[in-house]
Amino acid sequence: MKDLCTRHKAVLPDWLALYYDEPLELTHGEGRHVWDAAGRRYLDFFGGILTTMTAHALPDVTKAVAEQAGRIIHSSTLYLNRPMIDLAERVATLSGIPDARVFFTTSGTEANDAALLLATAHRGSNQILAMRNSYHGRSFSAVGITGNQSWSPTSLSPLQTLYVHGGVRTRGPYAALSDAEFTEACVADLRDMLGQTRGVAALIAEPIQGVGGFTSPPDGLYAAFRDVLAEHGILWIADEVQTGWGRTGDHFWGWQAHAASGPPDLLTFAKGIGNGMSIGGVVGRAEIMNSLDANSISTFGGSPVTMAAGLANLTYLLEHDLQGNARRVGGLLIERLRAICAHLPLVREVRGRGLMIGLELVKPGTDEANPQAAAAVLEAAREGGLLIGKGGGHNTSVLRVAPPLSLTVAEAEEGAAILEHALQDV
């Protein structure tokens, strides 16, 4: 393992982060478990960054991939592609966007990049509103609208970005307000900002901020924002890369917690739809999606193999009501974690929705972020046989818990017990 780590560092860039003091090589998985090269089994509560959404080695998906690979692996979008059209039809219907069109990419970063291209071209403006503490990917344009300094390595950008308050409920100048007052204050902040600009193209927002530490505003905030945006003709892009496909339990999409004003103009997705295969995309109103006045294709977006995986995974997810499972098992897990953490001064807050749960760690007796403790708990959980993630603000002090949506009650209890011991040890 040390030899592989040495080879990794010798040939890959320094900024390509690895978890753990002694990095893991994962060799195979099944269900909610993975194994490392030494043969040790772990309960997986991170799913390759919320990407193995259904289960490891799901037979339905592996069978679909193998069968499609046996026919044709690649063709590009220059040719009719039945699996791509089949999946696009399903995504368009599920999106809730009327007269929707779908463009497939290979990642969430590329999906957000495409949405920014479409929105700025449609509106004839390079001004974008984004949320503080946000993360939207690693491309030049996506980094340019990312409000989380830890993941924004350059101040250069092709876009003019203005950052709006509201993505973090329990920190900042409005934290002490009630939910209604918080929303009112954020809307007033948005109105004030728009009064000092002109021709903004779009607001892009994660319904629940992923890398930012699973933070979210009160339900309805983006509906209130949407009313203000509509007065100016500004588009709303919902970044559903981490929240989509039922992960939040209460809703199929994160935007539906803010549904009073209807669906977004553009919706981006990726991560879990392929259950590990490289699928991303953007879906939006035809008027916007058709607004480019130059030719474009995608070489790898909509690959027959990845589309076959997406179709099989989506079918399984819907037929087995994994959204309902995320609501039920996720609800039990978050309450169990809140009970565990109630008397731990290390934990400031346990928050989340469905199987998207964050534990924010602080230096005891303060509100100061504690990234050292987060790193230590990550290590201790691994020693106990549990894989979790971390993130949050400008300091990675939030533990991220996001298991596959097929998680059982017994596995939730097992993972909570391991995490309890890890927190107590630290």
pLDDT digit string (tens) for 352-406? 999 999 999 999 999 999 999 999 999 999 999 999 999 987 678 999 999 999 9
Pick the closest to residue 210 from 15, 414, 41, 355 (CA basis): 355
Using CB atoms within 10 A of its CB, is residue 250 exposed (0-12), middle (13-18) or buried (19+)? Answer: middle
Answer with the one of 288, 319, 350 that is the final residue of a domain.
319
CA atoms within 13 A on the CB side of 37: 9
CATH code at 29? 3.90.1150.10
Low-confidence ranges of the chain (pLDDT < 70): 151, 394
What pLDDT is recorded for position 342? Answer: 96
Whether residues 196 and 217 fall in one domain? yes
Whether residues 195 and 52 fall in one domain? no
Distance separating alpha carbons of residues 171 and 4, to the nearest angstrom: 41
Which SS3 state, helix, strand or coil, does residue 301 take?
coil
Whether residues 26 and 166 fall in one domain? no
Answer with the one of 285, 319, 353 that is the final residue of a domain.
319
Single-letter amino acid code for the residue at 115: A
Whether residues 289 and 223 fall in one domain? yes
Whether residues 294 and 154 fall in one domain? yes
| Pair of tokens at residue 407 | 């998680």
What pLDDT is recorded for position 138? Answer: 81
CB neighbourhood size of 338 (10 A) = 15
Residue 6's domain comprises: 2-57+322-425
Residue 98: which residues within 8 A CB-CB, separation 6 or more? 263, 285
> What does the DSSP 8-state code read for residue 171?
S
What pLDDT is recorded for position 394? Answer: 65
Whether residues 301 and 349 fall in one domain? no
What pLDDT is recorded for position 2? Answer: 78
| Pair of tokens at residue 98 | 């009327």
Q: H or E stretch including 406?
A: none
Q: How many domains does the chain have?
A: 2
Whether residues 93 and 201 fall in one domain? yes
| Pair of tokens at residue 257 | 């917690």
Whether residues 110 and 221 fall in one domain? yes
